[in-house]
Amino acid sequence: MSSIMISRIRQKQISQMIASGKRLDGRGLTDYRPIKIETGIIEKAEGSARVLMGRTEVVVGVKVELGEPFPDRPNEGVLTVNSEFVPLASPEFEAGPPSEESIELARVIDRGIRESQAIELEKLCLIPGKKVYVIFIDIYVLNHDGNLIDASALASLAALINTKIPVYVVENGEIKKTSEYMPLPMRNYPIAITFANISDKLVIDPWLEEEEIMNARLTITFDKDGRICAIQKGGQGALTPQQIIEAAYIAREKAEELRMLVVKN
Amino acid sequence: MSGKIRLIDENGLRVDGRKPNELRPIKMEVGILSNADGSAYIEQGKSKILAAVYGPREVHPRHLALPDRALLRCRYHMAPFSVEERKSPAPSRREIELSKVIKEALEPAVFLEKFPRTSIDIFIEVLQADGGTRCAGTTVAALALADAGIPMRDLVVACAAGKVDGVLVLDLNDLEDKEGEADLPVAYMPNLGLVSLLQMDGLLTIEEFKQALNLAIEGCKQIYKLQKEALKAKYIAIKEEVETCLQS
């Protein structure tokens, strides 16, 4: 999706500044844009959050339903992550079937949550093999100004922490809904950190124009214990193994900082 | 995740008898489809994958054409019979994602700027899947590109490393991928020393990740040798054919 027009002179300016360790918007190479998180903004959803990362804006809604478990995991709840690039978010987005980018985004967020075992899915089973909780995470991009992955991961985590699920009781194989709600059982808090490779330097949290001129993108997701739980390289360029290792150390520190923003909320 | 099944036995060997840093048996062949501009086939363990390249050719639909370079497109697809339970032939979200990451793994190797306003289309068909198909698919697609005579900066070769039963292992099979603790597919350009595909799922510390990345790159270097041999083998066969013709 590289059709946002950036003049050659501006491209050159952005990459030259990065080569000398500076950025056009005044940030350092490993600084995030200002981040604002709000939760519980959609009353009809069991959990929700809105994240602003600079001018990038993402809303995540969590819906909870009852459904069948996967045959190979009969005692666990089901998690599905979906993302929508709605046309109001960018002149580049079109209505219609999900784009490659939107599928990739949802799958990267899914991997971080699933592999860190953030949700205690084994506590979400009502009747083994028959009825379990199904957790739908829907990522809605409202304004695209770059780094949708980190904003969406943050919003998803904030929405999950905010989620209250209805309590059901099972009597003689029948499921009855009670009037009570409980917090979604969580054991881990994955945070995604994304870099763009520009002028052979890795810059954190690329905004739209930086994404347009980057040659590769690298996302590393860390769990609360500082372990890597997901990685995704994107973009048409390549990275050296040294760059990747270096990024991992920076990302581990940044993930700690970002996690404080959500977990205290 | 790793529950009842033991993936490493008391002798430190894996479910298929391999040592932790051992690749599965690999067989590659180049130039096997007569209609395609380039093609190749790989067997890595029980994974069997075919790749074909068409192009550079006219772009359809035309509005997708790029004024300054070729459009590289890639379709990774699994045959319905390639897995235990029949897979619907419609492209899944997983296949769409893999098509994207494989395309991005190959893109830095190809001189796309040599062929403006054309498309180069790569089709990867997984005939049988037994783990590591995105890696083997990348390896075989790079061979098909080379077979099509498309100028490249380097070959691209891919291999996964991972962690099973607490041990870092190379080239995971399906069971190790599903039951193991982590999977790290890596694509590498051996002469440029660059990583062009990198994904991970599971849990690894940074130290483990560093070791696994190195292990995967070592695996890539081994497969690269086989890749070059497979390319040469096609021309040796042609040369021998010509020689016998000339003799008779």
Cβ B99 vs Cβ B138: under 8 Å: no
Q: pLDDT value at position A3?
A: 57
Helices A148-162, A100-115: axis angle to 10 degrees equals 50
Instruction: Tell me which chain A residue has its CA closest to the CA of residue B193.
Output: A240
pTM for this prediction: 0.92
Q: pLDDT value at position A91?
A: 87
Chain B residues in contact with A107 (beta carbon < 8 A)? 93-94, 97
Chain A residues in contact with B198 (beta carbon < 8 A)? 218, 231-233, 239, 244
Q: pLDDT value at position A199?
A: 94
Name A209's Cβ contacts closer than 8 Å, sequence gap at least 6: A4, A6, A10, A14, A24, A146
- What CATH number is given for B26-247 in this structure? 3.30.230.70
Cβ B162 vs Cβ B180: under 8 Å: yes
Q: Where are the domains positioned within chain A?
A: 20-263
* B184 contact A CB<8A: yes
Kindly tell me if the per-residue pLDDT of B1 is higher than 50: no
Q: How far is it, in rounded angstroms, from Cα B224 to Cα B228? A: 6
Chain A residues in contact with B120 (beta carbon < 8 A)? none
Could you tell me the sign of the dihedral formed by the alpha carbons of A182, A184, A185, A186, in that order? negative
Kindly tell me if the per-residue pLDDT of B5 is higher than 90: no
Q: How far is it, in rounded angstroms, from Cα B135 to Cα B102? A: 8
Interface-testing mutation among A75, A188, A233, A256, with chain B (most B C-beta atoms within 10 A): A233
Q: pLDDT value at position B65?
A: 96
DSSP letters along B44-60, please? ETTEEEEEEEEEEEE-S
Q: Where are the domains positioned within chain B?
A: 26-247
User: Per the CB < 8 Å rule, is B202 touching A115?
Assistant: yes
- What CATH number is given for A20-263 in this structure? 3.30.230.70
Q: What is the pLDDT of residues B190-233, one digit of tens each?
A: 999 999 999 999 999 999 999 999 999 999 999 999 999 999 99
Q: pLDDT value at position A242?
A: 97
A195: tokens are 């870099």
Q: How far is it, in rounded angstroms, from Cα B230 to Cα B144? A: 11
User: Per the CB < 8 Å rule, is A240 touching B194?
Assistant: yes
Residue B227, classed as helix, strand or coil, is: helix
Chain A residues in contact with B107 (beta carbon < 8 A)? 236-237
CB-nearest partner of B194 from A104, A232, A238 = A238
Q: What is the pLDDT of residues B133-170, one digit of tens each?
A: 999 999 999 999 999 999 999 999 999 999 999 999 99
DSSP state, residue A240: -
Could you tell me the sign of the dihedral formed by the alpha carbons of A11, A16, A19, A24, in that order? negative
Each of the 265 residues of chain A gets a pLDDT tens digit; together they read 445 688 999 999 999 999 999 999 999 999 999 999 999 999 999 999 999 999 999 999 999 999 999 999 999 999 999 999 999 999 889 888 999 999 999 999 999 999 999 999 999 999 999 999 999 999 999 999 999 999 999 999 999 999 999 999 999 889 999 999 999 999 999 999 999 999 999 999 999 999 999 999 999 999 999 999 999 999 999 999 999 999 999 999 999 999 999 986 4
Chain B residues in contact with A245 (beta carbon < 8 A)? 206, 209-210, 213
Average of per-residue pLDDT values in chain B: 95
Which of the four pLDDT bands, split at 50, 70 and 90, describes residue B14?
A: very high
Q: What is the pLDDT of residues A118-155, one digit of tens each?
A: 999 999 999 999 999 999 999 999 999 999 999 999 99
Q: What is the pLDDT of residues B96-127, one digit of tens each?
A: 999 999 999 999 999 999 999 999 999 999 99
Kindly tell me if the per-residue pLDDT of B241 is higher than 50: yes
Q: pLDDT value at position B8?
A: 93
User: Per the CB < 8 Å rule, is B104 touching A234?
Assistant: yes
Could you report the predicted ipTM of this complex, rounded to two decimals? Answer: 0.88
Q: Where are the alpha helices (DSSP H) in chain B?
A: 93-106, 133-147, 174-179, 206-247
B 92-151 residues inside an 8 A Cβ radius of A: 93-94, 96-97, 99-101, 104, 107-108
